[in-house]
Amino acid sequence: EPEVTQTPSHQVTQMGQEVILRCVPISNHLYFYWYRQILGQKVEFLVSFYNNEISEKSEIFDDQFSVERPDGSNFTLKIRSTKLEDSAMYFCASSEYGGTGETQYFGPGTRLLVL
């Protein structure tokens, strides 16, 4: 069964460093998402992406964050200058269509720790 994959599974970085989290969505999916979960808190929406542009972004997704689909398979989240509060589990998701009833398929997540 097709699945969303994410790399790396864990990343430790120093505050102020740039990180790139990578995702490979399901191949025929056109809609892409990033969510994050700070330990003990809710899973929060960060950004949605379709047709090579951002559809919506949350208040969390400030100028330090960017997303890109550099080729036909990868979808990346870049944090330009990490802060301690960026430590979280980051989930990538994809869906075939964008409707409210569509299932979003999630990757296993990347656990980011900022020291």
Residue count of the chain, please give it. Answer: 115
In the complex, the smallest distance separating the C-beta of residue 81 from other proteins, rounded to whole angstroms, is 25
Q: Quick check: 61 binds other proteins (CB under 8 A)? A: no
Count of CB atoms situated within 10 Å of the CB of 13? 16
Per CB under 8 A, contacts with other proteins among 78-107 are: 91, 93, 95, 98-107
35 touches other proteins (CB under 8 A): yes
CA angle 51, 97, 7 (to 5 degrees): 70
Q: Residue 64's Cα: distance from chain center in Å?
A: 14
Residue ranges in contact with other proteins by CB under 8 A: 4, 6, 31, 33, 35, 41-45, 48-51, 55-56, 91, 93, 95, 98-109
